[in-house]
Amino acid sequence: MTPSCAVLFVCLGNICRSPLAEAAFRQEAKKRGWDIKIDSAGLGGWHIGDPPDVRAIREAKKQNIDITHYRGRKVSTQDFTQFTHIVAMDNENLSRLRALSPQNSTAHIALLMDYVPNKAGQEIADPYYGNEKDFDRTWEQVHEGAIALADHLEKQS
Ligand code: 4NP
């Protein structure tokens, strides 16, 4: 059964971590046969309208996922009522999301790794100034997080 939820993944630039988290979660939702709203956004506005970072595109391609059509966008006030779950990559994202959260927000805001048993509070490090190994590590983490989040939503529904 498809859970009644809509999930937004958030990082700083919306070109590295959150597009990879979106890709991993879309893959997981597809495996489970779910038809739900999934998106990603950034807290900064530098990459609005841009495709993901070439290294993130390459990482997704290694997993047989095409993310070249993804486009960067900034988190908006409406996101807090249009998504049931807003999922941050690090603590800085989390506190900025909480600060932006309007009074009528209905979204549950948490770190992606909060959904992974024994990994609550862990962050997904920004690979922007890193290398291919860092992007491999990002994929491992968002993939683990995506599966755990899907398990959580399945239990909730
Ligand atoms: P992300 O990485 O938050 O994982 O997308 C970044 C990408 C770009 C910038 C910062 C972080 N930037 O400053 O442009």
Cα gap 45→68, rounded to integer Å: 19
55 catalytic? Reply is no
pTM beyond cutoff 0.85: yes
Residue nearest to atom 9 of ligand 1 (CA): 13
Cα gap 64→87, rounded to integer Å: 24
Which token pair is 87? 């999922």
Q: For residue 141, what pLDDT is reported?
A: 98
What is the number of the ligand 1 atom nearest to the C-alpha of 19? 5
Catalytic residue, chosen from 53, 79, 90, 126, is: 126
Write phi, then psi, for 121 (nearest 5 degrees). Answer: 90, -10
Return averaged pLDDT per consecutive 10 residues of the chain, 157 residues in all. Answer: 94 98 98 98 98 98 98 98 98 98 98 98 97 98 98 93
Ranges of each domain in the chain: 6-151
CATH class (in words) of the domain with range 6-151: alpha beta
Cα gap 149→144, rounded to integer Å: 9
Q: For residue 110, what pLDDT is reported?
A: 98
User: Shortest CA distance to 113 belongs to which of 138, 141, 75?
Assistant: 141
How far, in Å, is the centroid of ligand 1 from the Cα of 157? 33
39 catalytic? Reply is no
Q: For residue 157, what pLDDT is reported?
A: 78
